[in-house]
């Protein structure tokens, strides 16, 4: 895929592979995982989120995964709505199924680790 057709953050960062996102678990009490722009100096920072819940049997249920409107709108105006939604759907799928380390999430939730540190929960 060419650069022109790639997903881009409004800050200018091209995101051709979902692995580039920073995936962090800062809002533990809200059961929400943030999808951040790879660029530390990005003015938007948060591009999307994944919301989940933990069932009684300790299994994880996905509630919602989506990208925020400014990010979606920006890309729609560049490469069209259809292409954007198709690409971002692929990104979300990869994030949820491959990149998020759900075992780590469960561990964080049960161990009550300090809330203050930056918690990258993507698989390395
Ligand atoms: Zn950005």
- Domain-by-domain residue ranges, the chain? 3-111
- 98-112 per-position pLDDT tens digit: 999 998 888 888 876
pLDDT tens sequence across 19-69: 999 999 888 888 999 999 999 999 999 999 999 999 989 899 999 999 999
Q: Are strands 32-36 and 46-54 parallel, antiparallel or unpaired?
A: antiparallel
CA of 67 from ligand 1 middle (Å) equals 13
The pLDDT of residue 67: 98
Ligand 1 centre to CA of 7 (Å) is 11
- Kindly report the pTM of this predicted structure: 0.89
CA of 87 to the centre of ligand 1 (A): 17
Q: Is the pLDDT of residue 118 over 60?
A: no
Contacts of 51 (CB under 8 A, 6+ apart): 30, 31, 32, 33, 62, 63, 64, 65
Which residue would you say has higher pLDDT here, 67 or 113? 67
Distance between Cα 27 and ligand 1 center (Å):
20
pLDDT at 106: 87
Q: Pick the residue with more confidence: 108 or 94?
A: 94
Describe the crossing of helices 69-79 and 81-94 by its angle, rounded to 10 degrees: 130
């Amino acid at each position: 895929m060419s650069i022109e057709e790639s997903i881009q953050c409004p800050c200018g960062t091209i995101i051709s592979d979902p692995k580039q996102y920073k995936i962090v678990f800062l809002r533990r009490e809200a059961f929400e995982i943030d999808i951040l722009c790879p660029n530390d100096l990005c003015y938007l920072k948060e591009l999307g989120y994944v919301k989940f819940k933990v069932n009684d049997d300790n299994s994880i249920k996905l509630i919602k995964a989506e990208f925020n409107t400014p990010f979606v709108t920006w890309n729609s105006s560049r490469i069209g709505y259809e292409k954007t939604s198709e690409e971002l759907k692929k990104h979300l799928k990869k994030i949820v199924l491959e990149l998020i380390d759900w075992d780590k999430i469960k561990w964080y939730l049960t161990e009550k680790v300090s809330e203050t540190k930056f918690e990258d929960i993507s698989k390395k």
